[in-house]
Amino acid sequence: MTYLLALDQGTSSSRSIVFDAQGRIHAMAQQELPQIYPRPGWVEHDPLQIWHSQLATARQALKQAGIQARQVRAMGITNQRETTVLWHRSSGKPLHHAIVWQDRRAEPACAALRQGGHEARIQRSTGLRVDAYFSATKLQWLLDNIPGARAQAERGELAFGTVDSWLIWNLTRGAAHVTDVSNAARTMLFDVQRNQWDQELLELLRIPPAILPTVQPSASAFGQAHADWLGQALPICGVAGDQQAALFGQACFDSGMSKNTYGTGCFMLMHTGGEFQLSGNGLLTTSAAQTAAGAPQFALEGSVFVGGAVVQWLRDGLKAISHSSQVQDLAATVPDSGGVMLVPAFTGLGAPYWQPDARGTITGITRGTSIAHIARAALESIAYQSTALLQAMQRDAQAAGAAPVTALRVDGGACVNDLLMQFQADLLGVPVLRPQVVETTALGAAWLAGLGAGLYAGTDELASLWQAERQFLPTMSAERAAESMQAWEHAVRQATAA
C-alpha cells in the first residue's frame, strides 16, 4: 500500500499524520509547542523546538502506522503562516526566536508605512492590508534589532523563511532554501499576480533579496528529506500554509467553493479562480495552493478572532461549564437564546469589521435570562461572525460577476458541534457540509504531495475522494435569517460604539 506523510506544524503543536492514497488516516502523533511571551503583545517560538518536535512526531507516526519510510511515496508540509525565522546559512542556527504571527511588536513600522501612503501600493501587489500580522515587518524588526544581522544579511550569510522553509532547510540538511506561493503570499513582500518577490517592496522595507527563499508551486519537488531523519530519503512534494492547505483538503478547487475552519478563531476562504480581485468588503486577497507553475490561483480570506475561544471563556471565565464539550448540552436546554446577543470582541473584531478597539458585549438580558441562554448566544456568535464573513465574500463575488456560494465546507474542532452547524446553515441559507476526514489541513498537504509525486492524476481524482460525513440543510426562513443578522449587526454597533 502507498502512504503519504503530512507534517502539520501549528501554533500550539507539531503533528504528523500518515494517510493512505484514499485519504484515510492510519496514524497520528502530536507534541505540544511551548509559547514564549517576552513582553506584552510579543509571542515567540524556539525554532529548534519547532524542528525537533516536528521530526519526533514524524518518527512516531511512522512507528504507530507500522510502516517503513520506503513505503511512503512523498511527504507534504503545512504550517502556521506568517511566523518568521532568521538563521545562519553556514551553521543552520537561528539568530533569534521565531516571531509568531500573533506578535504585535512591528505595529509602529506598519503605522509608518500607512502614514507614508504606502498601503494602497502594498495591497495592489500583495492583496494584504498593512498589518504586523504578516512577515515583512517582523523580518525588518529582526534585521534592525539583532546586532550585525543586517550586515550579515547583505553579505548573503543569512536565510529568512516562514516555518515551511525552516523545516525544509533542516529536513534537507541545508540543501534547499525554498517556499511555496501560498506561504510567500503571507509575507507582505510577494507580488501574487506575478508570482515573484516584489523588488520595490524589498527596497522600501530594506530587505536584502539574498536572504529570501526560492518560490515554487505548492505541488512540486521541494527537495529530499535526508535519509538520517526517517531511515530513508523521502521526497518533499507538497507545501502550503495551513488555511490554503485546508481549502485544498476540502477539495475546493473551483471558483466560488468555500470552507470555514472553526478553531480558536475562524478562517474562511473562498476560491476565486485565476483572477486577482481586491475585496471591497474588508477581506484579504491571497494565493491559493497552486499545482502548476505559471498558473496563479487566488482566494478571498477573512478571519474571526474569537471563534471556539468564546467556549473557552464560558469554561474558564464564567465557570459555566467544566469541559468545552459540555457547551452543546447546556445550550440545548433552551430553544433559543431568548433575545440575548453576545459579541465576543475580546481582542477587537476582525474581518469584515476591522474594529481593533471593539470590546465584548452581552445585550438583551432580562430577568428570565439563564446561563443556558448566554451559552447558546456564545455558540451562535461563532455562526453570526462566520455569516458576516460569507456575506462579505458573496458581495465581492457578485461585484466580480462570479458564481454565488452554494455550500460551505467546514472543519476544525468546533465543527463537531451539531447545534452550531445547524444554526450556521440556517443563517447562511445554504447547506453546510462536514467531511468524513476533518483533518483537512494535513490532508491538503498530503494531497499536494501526492500530486507532486505523480500519485494522483489531477484535482478531479482528489475531488472524487472527498466525502461528506453529514450535511446540515437550512430550516429557517430567509426572512427570519435576515432579521437575525440585522439583530447581530445592531449588537456589533453597540460593541463598537465609543
Q: Which residue in 7, 33, 36, 191 sits closest to 102, CA to CA?
A: 36
Rounded to whole angstroms, the Cα distance separating 162 from 183 reads 7
Q: Which residue in 80, 413, 377, 441 sits closest to 263, CA to CA?
A: 413
Amino acid in the structure at residue 321: I
Bond from prior residue into 431 cis (ω within 30 degrees of 0):
no
Q: CA end-to-end span of the chain, whole Å?
A: 61
Whether residue 279 is annotated as binding a ligand: the answer is: no
Whether residue 187 is annotated as binding a ligand: the answer is: no
Whether residue 243 is annotated as binding a ligand: the answer is: yes
Contact 412, 252 (CB under 8 A): no
Amino acid in the structure at residue 243: Q
The cell for 159 is 536565510
> C-alpha distances in angstroms, 15 versus 52, 110, 180, 225?
12, 33, 20, 17
Whether residue 250 is annotated as binding a ligand: the answer is: no
Whether residue 91 is annotated as binding a ligand: the answer is: no
Whether residue 53 is annotated as binding a ligand: the answer is: no
Whether residue 81 is annotated as binding a ligand: the answer is: yes
Whether residue 359 is annotated as binding a ligand: the answer is: no
Whether residue 369 is annotated as binding a ligand: the answer is: no
375 Cβ neighbours under 8 A, 6+ residues apart: 314, 320, 321, 327, 330, 331
- Among all chains, which residue has been given the C-alpha cell 490561483? 297
Whether residue 464 is annotated as binding a ligand: the answer is: no
Whether residue 475 is annotated as binding a ligand: the answer is: no
Rounded to whole angstroms, the Cα distance separating 21 from 447 reads 9
The backbone torsions φ and ψ at residue 81, rounded to the nearest 5 degrees and listed phi first, read -90, 165
Whether residue 370 is annotated as binding a ligand: the answer is: no
Rounded to whole angstroms, the Cα distance separating 202 from 368 reads 59
Whether residue 308 is annotated as binding a ligand: the answer is: yes
DSSP letter for 309, please: H
Whether residue 368 is annotated as binding a ligand: the answer is: no
Annotated binding-site residue numbers = 11-13, 15, 81-82, 133, 242-243, 264, 308, 312, 413, 417
Annotated binding-site residue numbers for ADP = 11, 15, 264, 308, 413, 417
Annotated binding-site residue numbers for glycerol = 81-82, 133, 242-243
Annotated binding-site residue numbers for ATP = 11-13, 264, 308, 312, 413
Annotated binding-site residue numbers for sn-glycerol 3-phosphate = 11, 81-82, 133, 242
